Amino acid sequence: MKLFATIFALLIVQFTFAQAYSGAGDVKFQVGANFQNNGTGIMGSLDFGVGENISLGIASAYLLGIDKVSDLDGNEKPFAEFKDRFDFRGRFNANLGNVINVDPNFDVYPGLYVSLKNFGGHLGARYFFTSGFGVFTEFSAPFAKFNTETLTPAEKLHNQFAVNLGASFNI
C-alpha cells in the first residue's frame, strides 16, 4: 500500500509540472499518423515559441498506405511518386491554451501554413500528461492549391482535408 501511495503521489506531482505551452523559447516536437482520403502515413512537426501566444514551425508528412493511383486518362499506376507522397510545410500557430484557460496542460492552436502543394489552415489541440510527454490531434484543410488545373488522384494527396493524431514532446 505504501508503494502504491508513493507512486500515486509522484504521478500527481508530475502532472502539476506539465504545461502545454509556455511562450517564447518553448519548443514542441510532434510525431504521429496522418489520415486522408486515399492515403495514410506518418507526420512530424517542430514548433518554436516566439511570443506569449505565437509559435512558428515546420511540418512534414509522407504517405505510406497508397494502393494505386490513376492519371487524368484513367491509367492506373501501382504507386504514387515521391513528389505526390511527400509534403513539407512552414506554419504559424496561435497558442490559445492560456486564453481559454481550460487546464494548464491543454493547448488549442489554430494556425496557417504554406506547403509545397498549397496554402491552408489547421486546428490542433494537445494535452500534456507530464512536462515532457503529451498527445495531440490536428485537422488541416487547404484554402488555395498551387496547381489550379484539374488534379489527378495522386495530386489530390496532401491537397485535401487531413487528420493527424500522435504524441507531443516538450524539448
161, β-bridge pairs: none
Residue range(s) defining the domain that contains residue 109: 2-170
**Residues 107, 125 contacting (CB under 8 angstroms):** yes
Domain with residue 84: its CATH number is: 2.40.160.20
Model pLDDT, residue 6: 47
Model pLDDT, residue 94: 95
Give the chain's domain count. 1
105, β-bridge pairs: none
Cα-based distances in Å from 129 to 4, 13, 55, 64: 19, 11, 21, 29
pTM, to two decimals? 0.79
* Per-residue pLDDT tens digits for 71-110: 667 777 767 788 889 999 999 999 998 899 889 899 999 9
Which amino acid does the sequence have at 49? Answer: G
* Per-residue pLDDT tens digits for 132-170: 999 999 999 999 999 888 887 788 889 999 999 999 999
Distance CA 21, CA 1 (A): 35
